[in-house]
């Protein structure tokens, strides 16, 4: 997908608060291409920036789907105060809307976290409100992680959420990925009764990637986004 296929969600932080865009000035993940997409906070303002795929049949998707991408909590002014993420089933065109978010938690060291809640909050930590799953393993700032989130809507209304990771050292970008379950993150069923997550499942919506920030000089990087919709 090209730049024309992505649209910013409304109510996000402006470019004077969080700079964003494509750059060749940051080291890419193993096997990465010439460019990646980066975010750099310029003010100590809490909020988020997020983009969704605005292609026909993707804005919104009628059911679930799968999103895959490389994320990094980049070195900067400090180890906390920010989180990059992917999202599926976004319920509207605002960062204030809810979605399923898969990202890197605002912890030091950080973890892979699956969270259900407002996009603007990002991944505040690995144990806070809305956290559905978190990885057993933690990671140092500056680590590239190639992640995948599947959200499959069953005919009864349940949403089956599965998180995978590809080992970039063994399977760099450009080679076939080897998607493996993440330790500590079993399959999660967001049941149509609203029991497991505490609210009704998200059965359709928009998908994309973003960055939440709460402090200055925090950086997040995203590369190799792939998006597929459930038919």
Per-residue confidence (pLDDT) for residue 4, from 0 to 100: 79
Does residue 1 register a pLDDT over 70? no
The CA angle 157-125-60, to the nearest 5 degrees, is 35
Does residue 2 register a pLDDT over 70? no
Domain 3-229 class? mainly beta
Report pLDDT digits (tens) over 103-131. 999 999 999 999 999 999 999 999 889 99
Computed over every residue of the chain, the mean pLDDT equals: 96
Both structure tokens of 224: 């190799």
Report pLDDT digits (tens) over 88-99. 999 999 999 999
pTM for the full model? 0.97
Q: Which residues are CB-contacts of 53 (< 8 A; sequence separation ≥ 6)?
A: 1, 5, 6, 59, 206, 207, 208, 227
The domains of the chain are located at 3-229
What whole-number percentage of the chain has pLDDT above 90? Answer: 97
Q: What is the mean pLDDT of residues 34-39?
A: 96
């Amino acid at each position: 997908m090209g730049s024309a296929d992505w649209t910013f969600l409304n109510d996000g932080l402006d470019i004077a608060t969080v700079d964003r865009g494509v750059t060749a000035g940051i080291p890419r993940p193993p096997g990465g291409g010439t460019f990646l997409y980066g975010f750099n906070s310029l003010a100590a303002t809490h909020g988020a920036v997020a983009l969704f795929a605005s292609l026909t049949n993707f804005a919104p998707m009628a059911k679930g789907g799968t999103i895959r991408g490389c994320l990094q909590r980049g070195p900067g002014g400090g180890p906390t105060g920010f989180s990059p993420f992917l999202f599926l089933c976004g319920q509207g065109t605002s960062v204030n809307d809810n979605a399923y978010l898969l990202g890197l938690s605002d912890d030091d060291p950080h973890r892979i976290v699956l969270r259900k809640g407002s996009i603007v909050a990002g991944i505040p930590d690995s144990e806070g409100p809305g956290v559905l799953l978190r990885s057993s393993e933690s990671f140092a700032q500056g680590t590239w992680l190639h992640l995948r989130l599947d959200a499959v809507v069953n005919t009864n209304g349940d949403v089956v959420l599965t998180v995978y990771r590809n080992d970039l050292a063994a399977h760099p970008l450009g080679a076939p990925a080897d998607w493996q379950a993440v330790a500590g993150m079993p399959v999660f069923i967001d049941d149509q009764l609203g029991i497991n997550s505490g609210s009704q499942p998200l059965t359709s919506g928009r998908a994309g990637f973003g960055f939440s920030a709460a402090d200055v000089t925090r950086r997040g990087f995203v590369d190799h986004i792939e998006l597929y919709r459930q038919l």
